[in-house]
Chain A
Amino acid sequence: MKNFKYFRPKNLDELLAIKNELKEEARLLAGGSNLLVYIKEGSLKSGTLVDIGSLAALKGIREKDGYLEIGAAETIIDIMASPVVSEKLPFLRESLRVFANPLIRNISTVAGNIAEGSPIADTAPLLLVLNSEVVAASITGRRNIPIDDFFISLGKTEIKANEVIITIRIPIPETGRGKFVKLGLRKGTSCSVVSVAVWLIANGRGVEDIRIALGGVAPLPLRAVKTEALFRGKILNEHNIGELALEVTNEITPITDVRGGAAYRSEVSAALLSKAVRECLGMEE
């Protein structure tokens, strides 16, 4: 028997108070595209549905101190439509075009996408290569969590039971170019088999710096730091991009599931990484 309550906090204080009181029993509801599936499937049977979807304190997309700050309740579509995002970080807007499908983009949020600690959250590799921060709040205060520390284990994040994500902060890059590529079983509405995000700072074809992150190939969204180190300082050409990209298969641990085998995921990871790097360099459009 399902037994849910509904609560819509009027301000941030009310939200933090109920989260502190109910802890995990307070189920935050923004877009609902995860939560309502759990209720429908019966894996979640009780709790208080805390509606933060229209909470003004969690809205807003702005530039502040060199960071892009995105309120936790901002929808994917509003982020894509934001003039600030278009001007300061078009990479984010372009990457979100492959998020779920147009209907889900109208309701889902970035905070909700990463809050579950899912290895296939499409925004996770983006936030990782952008060195983002997650701002968490509780009744005792706020703290900024570097995205590298955010994902703890499968389904678990750094967010404590009395905390809520209030803002995503992304440092606006001064140089470089990014590319996000995702392989799903279909074009729309499909979970990623593998996704790869790259942020590349290059001088011609020489790699000054590179950040690589992958989804769907480990229990967590992953920064491929060893592969990054191999790329750094190299002059890239038609041949060595593929060879370097292949190195990524040594630091991922993909599984076999309904969407693909482990060996397939490994091959695809290298191919997508190669493609992403080439696109950053304008070798492939």
Chain B
Amino acid sequence: MELYEVDLMVNNRAVSARIKAETTLLDFLRENNFIEVKRGCSKGDCGACTVIIDGRPVPSCMTLALQCPGKKIYTVKSLGSWDKLHPLQQAFVDHEAVQCGFCTPGMLMTAKAFLSDQPHPSREEIREAISGNLCRCTGYQKIVDAIESVGKGGEYE
């Protein structure tokens, strides 16, 4: 079986590996310790594995790692840290937008990219924007509340 050398930029860090042709970005990330990227359906339906590639949220299970050299990939760990949460992360905490937490990394990345494009969205626009990210706990209300509060805050970079 043929292996391929690949160098990717993840959270502004170079990561190299020898991988199989069919290795998805999701597999690549998790095997290289970016386990904050969650494996849900692996078929592009649930959005749990969403990362931001060149400014756009995409399901990392639907992208080959070999398609990503030269692209800027960001996982949820690029947002904030325990000591200094990103405003979106803080909003998810404040609004109790997290229950089991499995969808949260993907949800945050979709919200991050969305607010960068559209800093002051309506609730309907927020719902549409996160419609590819499934959450089986919250019923979405609190997630929409959290994203809306950051949009309304107007301090989002």
CB atoms of A51 and B1 under 8 A apart: no
Q: Which residues of B are found within 8 Å of A189, using beta-carbon distances?
A: 45, 131-132, 134
* Residues of A close to B42: CB separation below 8 A: 40
Contact A32 B129 (CB under 8 A): no
Q: Bound complex: CA of A49 vs CA of B63, how far in Å?
A: 12
Within 8 A of B (CB), among A168-185: none
- Determine, out of A98-106, A151-159, A215-223, A240-248, the stretch whose residues face the partner at the interface: A98-106
Determine which residue in B2, B42, B61, B64 has the highest number of CB atoms from chain A within 10 A of its CB, and name it: B64
User: Total A-B pairs in contact (CB under 8 Å)?
Assistant: 87
Knowing A39-B22, A102-B128, A188-B132, the reply to whether A107 touches B63 (Cβ < 8 A) is yes
Q: Is the Cβ of B43 less than 8 Å from the Cβ of A6?
A: no
User: In the complex, what residues of B have CB within 8 A of residue A103's CB?
Assistant: 44, 47, 50, 57-59, 110, 132-133
Q: Are A32 and B64 neighbours in the complex by a CB distance under 8 Å? A: yes
**Chain A residue nearest to B50 in the complex (CB):** A103
Cα separation A104 to B110 with both chains bound (whole Å): 12
Within the assembled complex, what's the spacing in Å between the Cα atoms of A77 and B54?
A: 14
A225 on interface, CB distance cutoff 8 Å: no
Tell me which of A29, A41, A77 contacts B67 (CB under 8 A).
A29
Question: Roughly how many angstroms separate A185 CA and B16 CA in the complex, as a whole number?
Answer: 42
What CA separation (Å) do A107 and B130 show in the bound complex? 16
A274 to chain B, nearest CB (A): 26
Given A4-B22, A40-B43, A31:B57 Cβ within 8 A = no
A106 vs chain B, min Cβ distance (A)? 5
Q: A32-B62, A103-B47 are in contact. Are A49 and B21 (CB under 8 A)?
A: yes
Known: A32-B63, A49-B64. A106 touches B45 (CB 8 A): no
Chain A residues, Cβ within 8 Å of B20: 2, 4
Q: How far is the CA of A13 from the CA of B114 in the complex (A)?
A: 37
Answer whether A102 and B62 are a contact pair too, CB < 8 Å, given A4-B22, A40-B43, A189-B45: no
Q: Which of B21, B43, B57, B61 is most buried by chain A, counting CB atoms within 10 A of its CB?
A: B21
Quick check: A102 and B129 within 8 Å, CB to CB?
A: yes
A53 within 8 A of B: yes
A108 to B67, CA, bound (A): 14
For A106, what are the chain B residues with a Cβ–Cβ distance below 8 Å? 56-58
Bin chain B's interface residue count: 20 to 34
Q: Are A2 and B22 in contact (CB under 8 A)?
A: yes
B residues within 8 A CB of A6?
2, 4, 21, 64, 66
Shortest distance between the CB of B27 and any CB in chain A (Å): 10
Considering the chains assembled together, what is the distance between the CA atoms of A49 and B64 in angstroms?
A: 10
Kindly report which residue of chain B lies nearest to residue A190, judged by CB atoms: B45
B58 / chain A contacts, CB cutoff of 8 Å:
103, 106-107
Contact B21 A5 (CB under 8 A): yes
Interfacial chain A residues near B56, Cβ < 8 Å: 77, 106
Contacts known (A103-B132, A189-B45); A33 close to B21, Cβ less than 8 A? no
Mark contacts of A244-259 with chain B using CB atoms, 8 A cut-off: 1 yes-contact digit, 0 otherwise.
0000000000000000
Residues of B within 8 A of A (CB): 1-2, 4, 20-22, 24, 42-45, 47, 50, 56-59, 61-64, 66-67, 110, 114, 128-134
A-B contacts besides A6-B2, A36-B44, 20 pairs, CB < 8 Å: A2-B22, A6-B66, A32-B62, A32-B63, A32-B64, A32-B67, A36-B22, A40-B61, A41-B43, A51-B64, A53-B67, A54-B67, A101-B47, A101-B131, A101-B132, A102-B57, A103-B47, A103-B59, A104-B62, A106-B57
The 4 closest A-B pairs by CB, nearest first: A188-B131, A101-B132, A103-B132, A6-B21
List the interface of chain A (C-beta within 8 A of B): 2-6, 8, 29, 31-33, 36-37, 39-41, 49, 51, 53-54, 77, 100-104, 106-107, 187-189
A-B contacts, 13 of them at CB < 8 A, read A2-B20, A2-B22, A4-B20, A32-B64, A39-B22, A49-B66, A51-B64, A101-B132, A103-B44, A103-B132, A104-B59, A107-B58, A188-B131
